[in-house]
Amino acid sequence: MQVIRTKKGTFYREKIYVRGKATHSPRFLRKTDAVGWKARMESEKGKFRSSGVLPKVFQEENKVTLIDEAQAWLETRVKLQLSARTYEHYSATLKRHIFPSFGHLKLQEIQIRHGHLLIKELHEKGHNAKGINLIVGVFKRVLIEATRENRLEKNPFQYLREMKGTPRTDVYMTSEQIERVLEVSRGHYFHSLFLLAVNSGMRRGEIAGLCWDKVNFHTGLIEIARLRDRNGLGDRTKTFKSRRFIPMNAVARNHLLTLKEKTKGDLVVAGENGEAFDVNHVYRDLSRFLKEAEIKEHYRFHDLRHTFASHFMMNGGNIYDLQKILGHSSLEMTQRYAHLAPEHLIKASNVVSFGGKVVERKLALQTLAPI
């Protein structure tokens, strides 16, 4: 307790610390009043610790807004540690969906009800459950970072539940469909892009950024260390764990050897003019060749990655190996890609059979399309 002696008399003043900053009491003539003030403030501080909501008495010392916190997070964490595409996505999400209604809020004013309000607002605008969860997820990441950096006592969105919706059915291409696309795309850069995707599980940006210095024919491994997006070629992948090595199967190896003889530049897969192809045209080209191959189903380019993973598992692959090949940080992510087709499950039902003849012991291996 501070004792202040002046010409007008003796005063008493207390202080408490909130988030490392001192908050001082008014000057009291009586010592017991100063003690009482501190007791009340300690009680408010306890409520803050349990709820994460900063009482008004402390808010003058904490004027950082959500916009301030989010911008700092984008520039010091996301921009430096994640891909340029992720930075663009997070930045656009914040500016378009979160800042207009909640950007002005002081960090300590944010409560779980603001999460519910955001969900209601997005639902009324027609967003589906998956889209809403992605947007709210960005908001959550900002608050998680603020809590980790000790600028929030407690994450107010800690118990905010995700919306439940009908999940998108995972789809993958059949071997016959793959053959047909490869056939109609011969002579086009997309042929190589497509073939590498279904034979390796690489992402669009990873194939687009693959250079010959990362293809080792001696070891039979491809190193994924770069990606290329609308911002150009960069020596960083989606996450540090995405920096990985992918084994070449016989089809991919033979195709790459053929490409190596034909290409003169650094890029493994180049456009028709020998320069980098436009990554934004990949979806257009995929739709074109699906149509030419008379395939009615709609596939995204990312479904080629899922196609690789599904066939990998159906043909006896190990889920832990698949996790390493795909560069997933957790096994849970890989399980989404490793589900088995219904017809495959029907065959597998006879792997164990009692009371009759023992049927199929091993599923036949299936080779993905040759060049």
pLDDT tens by residue, 71-103: 999 998 898 888 777 899 999 999 999 999 999
Model pLDDT, residue 371: 45
Out of 8-17, 22-31, 327-336, which region has the weakest mean confidence (pLDDT)? Answer: 22-31
Q: Assess if residue 52 is contained within a domain.
A: yes
Kindly give, in sequence order, each residue whose CB lies less than 8 Å from that of residue 200, ignoring residues fewer than 6 positions away.
222, 246, 248, 249, 252, 308, 325
Model pLDDT, residue 148: 83
Helices and strands (H and E) in the chain: how many: 17, 9
Q: Assess if residue 226 is contained within a domain.
A: yes
Question: Are 144 and 20 contained in the same domain?
Answer: no
- Give CA angle at 129 (116, 148), nearest 5°: 55
Model pLDDT, residue 356: 55
Q: How far apart are CA 199 and CA 369, in angstroms?
A: 8
Q: Assess if residue 19 is contained within a domain.
A: yes
Question: Are 100 and 231 contained in the same domain?
Answer: no
Question: Are 190 and 85 contained in the same domain?
Answer: no
Q: To the nearest whole number, what is the mean pLDDT of the chain?
A: 83
Model pLDDT, residue 37: 77
Given phi > 0 = left and psi -120 to 50 = alpha, else beta, which region is 130? alpha
Q: How far apart are CA 265 and CA 267, in angstroms?
A: 6
Q: Where are the alpha helices (DSSP H) in the chain?
A: 31-51, 56-59, 66-73, 79-81, 84-93, 99-102, 112-124, 129-148, 175-184, 189-200, 204-208, 250-262, 282-292, 302-314, 319-326, 331-337, 342-348
Question: Are 28 and 71 contained in the same domain?
Answer: no
Question: Are 295 and 322 contained in the same domain?
Answer: yes
Question: Are 186 and 225 contained in the same domain?
Answer: yes
Q: How confident is the model at residue 336 (pLDDT cuts 50, 70, 90)?
A: confident
Question: Are 194 and 324 contained in the same domain?
Answer: yes
Burial 239-252 (b: 16+ CB within 10 A, else e): eeebebbbebeebb
Tokens representing residue 11 in the block? 């005063």
Quote the domain boundaries for residue 111: 66-148
- The one-character DSSP state at 331 is H
Q: Assess if residue 240 is contained within a domain.
A: yes
Q: Judge whether residue 132 has pLDDT over 90.
A: yes
Q: Judge whether residue 156 has pLDDT over 60.
A: yes
Q: Judge whether residue 70 has pLDDT over 50.
A: yes
Question: Are 212 and 305 contained in the same domain?
Answer: yes
Q: Assess if residue 246 is contained within a domain.
A: yes
Most distant CA pair in the chain: distance in Å?
A: 106
Q: Assess if residue 325 is contained within a domain.
A: yes
Question: Are 31 and 101 contained in the same domain?
Answer: no
Which backbone phi and psi does 210 adopt, to 5 degrees? Answer: -75, 125
Model pLDDT, residue 107: 87
Q: What is the pTM of this model?
A: 0.61
Question: Are 217 and 338 contained in the same domain?
Answer: yes
Question: Are 202 and 118 contained in the same domain?
Answer: no
Q: What is the pLDDT of residues 267-324, one digit of tens each?
A: 999 887 778 888 888 999 999 999 999 999 999 999 999 999 989 888 888 888 988 9
Model pLDDT, residue 341: 45
Q: Assess if residue 361 is contained within a domain.
A: no
Q: What CATH number should be reported for the domain holding residue 211?
A: 1.10.443.10
Domain boundary among 18, 36, 57: 57
Q: How confident is the model at residue 360 (pLDDT cuts 50, 70, 90)?
A: very low
Amino acid at the residue 329: S
Model pLDDT, residue 63: 74
Q: What CATH number should be reported for the domain holding residue 122?
A: 1.10.150
Q: Judge whether residue 25 has pLDDT over 60.
A: yes
Closest listed residue to residue 211, CA positions, set 251, 263, 247, 255:
263
Q: How confident is the model at residue 239 (pLDDT cuts 50, 70, 90)?
A: low
Any idea of the CA torsion for 321, 325, 331, 334, to the nearest 10 degrees? -110
More confident position, 39 or 254: 254
